Amino acid sequence: MAKRYVTIWFRYLVTDWMIRHRPGLRKESFVFAAPVHGRMMIAAACKNAEANGITAGIPVADAKAIDPSLHVLDNRHGLEEKLLRTLAEWSIRYTPTAAVDLPDGLTLDASGCAHLWGGEEAYVKEIVSKLGAAGFDVRAAMADTIGTAWAVARYGEGAISIVQSGDQATALLPLHPAALRPDPAVLVRLQKLGFRRIAAFANMPRAALRRRFGEDLLTRLSQALGQAEEFIQPIFINPPYQERLNCLEPIRTAAGIEIAIRRLLDTLCKRLESEGKGLRSAVLKCFRVDGKTVEAAIGTNRASHNAAHLYKLFELKIPTIEPALGIELFVLEAPKVEETEQQQEKLWATGPGLEDAAVAELLDRLAGKAGVGAIRRFLPDEHYWPERSVTPAASLKDKPADGWRLDRPRPVLLLPHPEAIEVSAPIPDYPPMLFRYRGRLHEIRKADGPERIEREWWLDGGEHRDYYTVEDEQGQRYWLFRSGHYNEDQRHQWFIHGFFA
């Protein structure tokens, strides 16, 4: 069967995408720019800018001279590739084989697909109108070879061009040599020699062409004419981690739900295990007879494909699943999947620890019931201010960047908010003699300090604190501080902040 290819050219790929995100830019003239050798160069220009003669490759300063109201946005590296990849994934609905053609196109292998849309014309029209509705200015062409389709889409006339099978030469010959995708250097040489159309040199002896322009141009020409094969690298879409279970009879009991979860987990975990992956989160969707959907979600601390453990996590959620009249379809999805770590067998026995899988599984169970926010582990943070000196660890694997400090005394219990106390202090910068906290008088026998901790003015405002470690007559040890400098008029400037062991 003859091959048919569709090439789609996104004329303003990045800028059209930007307009989709910020519709306010539609009427404006804007460009994406990136620094090249210290100059801001335009990487992509929108339609309005291009109408004024501002194109990719000219410096922003020159463009500003042409149009002072020009908006300049930062170019994001790799954005085109990401966009094209998404668009290629979208176009899988038209053909099973789609490829990204950097920097601004897609190539679809449409062999045997067009008749499903009622002919080639309707097929290409459908693609172009769908993309047009999404805001992309595209041109598409269909031909027997990728080269011809590419050339016609970009250098032909009209948004949609269909080159009939075997008509490559007629379509190609009147076009500009750039349509053959030659090297820029070769293109310059062609221009210099006055070749303004492909027809001017297509029928020359191949040996002469090869000597002057190299093998590459000849390959391009024969690929476009269908005399040589050209290959594309189709994108591969990972099938989603999803399992479905249809029920013959609607399920209404907890036992039934348990069996369903077990079965779904077994098949999903088998697939994850064979791929060396584990899930970090899973959602169970139960479709009920009455048309409603009940969901139960779990999360894990480390990627897991242990069906028994995952079942335990779901077991905690079963009481929240309301079957009502019955559930007819269960769908288990794993939206977050990660590579599992290879556990290396250890020759020597070390003690259990945070790396232990059992601990991670325990924390999953606790988080399943109490919520993820309830479980915390702390790492030192680079702040002297006591409330900010620890920071919650993001994961079980985090290690403190620098060790815990030992040089300053810190209390075992820290009050969440310092509480005001009444004191009698002799003279500035001396610890108090007595203080009254919650109605009880404490007479201070021993004291250490002060340790002044300044407030981090870039984070919040207020007074500094002078901390004292004090011990009362019963040997109970406290952490007190005076907020700000000693001031005779000011009362309530002493606080208790913690208890020492």
Partner 1 sequence: MMRGKADIIAALQKEILSLQGYRAEGDSTAVNVGLEAITRSFPNAIFPTGAIHEFLTEAPEHTAATGGFMAGLLASLMQRGGACIWVSTSRRLFPPSLKTFGVEPDRFIFVDLQREKDVLWAMEESLKCGGLAAVIADLGEITFTQSRRVQLAVEHSGVTCFLLRTNPRKLNTIASIARWKITPLPSQLEEGMPGVGFPRWQVELLKVRNGYPGMWKVEWSAGGFVMLPERAVAATAAGQKRKAG
Footprint of partner 1 (CB under 8 A): 350-354, 356-359, 361-363, 365-366, 369-370, 374-380, 386, 389-390, 393, 398-400, 404-406, 409-416, 445-448, 469-471, 473-478, 498-501
Nearer to partner 1, 274 or 474 (CB): 474
Q: How many CA atoms lie within 13 A of 298 on its CB side?
A: 32
Nearer to partner 1, 38 or 371 (CB): 371
Burial of residue 317, with CB atoms counted within 10 A of its CB: 0-12 exposed, 13-18 middle, 19 or more buried: middle
**Minimum distance between the CB of residue 499 and partner 1, rounded to whole angstroms?**
4
Q: Nearest CA to 322 among 375, 252, 403, 378?
A: 252
Nearer to partner 1, 237 or 413 (CB): 413
Q: How many CA atoms lie within 13 A of 159 on its CB side?
A: 13
**Minimum distance between the CB of residue 398 and partner 1, rounded to whole angstroms?**
8
**Minimum distance between the CB of residue 400 and partner 1, rounded to whole angstroms?**
5
Nearer to partner 1, 319 or 353 (CB): 353
* CA–CA gap between residue 426 and residue 151 (Å, rounded): 92
Nearer to partner 1, 178 or 359 (CB): 359
Instruction: Dihedral sign for Cα 463, 466, 472, 476, please.
Output: positive
Nearer to partner 1, 459 or 501 (CB): 501
Listed in sequence order, the residues at least 6 apart from 266 whose beta carbon sits closer than 8 Å to its beta carbon are 307
Per DSSP, 239 falls in state P
Q: What are phi and psi of 88, to 5 degrees?
A: -65, -40
* CA–CA gap between residue 478 and residue 476 (Å, rounded): 7
Nearer to partner 1, 193 or 370 (CB): 370
Q: What are phi and psi of 73, to 5 degrees?
A: -110, 155
**Minimum distance between the CB of residue 431 and partner 1, rounded to whole angstroms?**
10
**Minimum distance between the CB of residue 67 and partner 1, rounded to whole angstroms?**
57
**Minimum distance between the CB of residue 469 and partner 1, rounded to whole angstroms?**
5
* CA–CA gap between residue 137 and residue 47 (Å, rounded): 9
**Minimum distance between the CB of residue 41 and partner 1, rounded to whole angstroms?**
48
Residue found under tokens 């998404």: 86
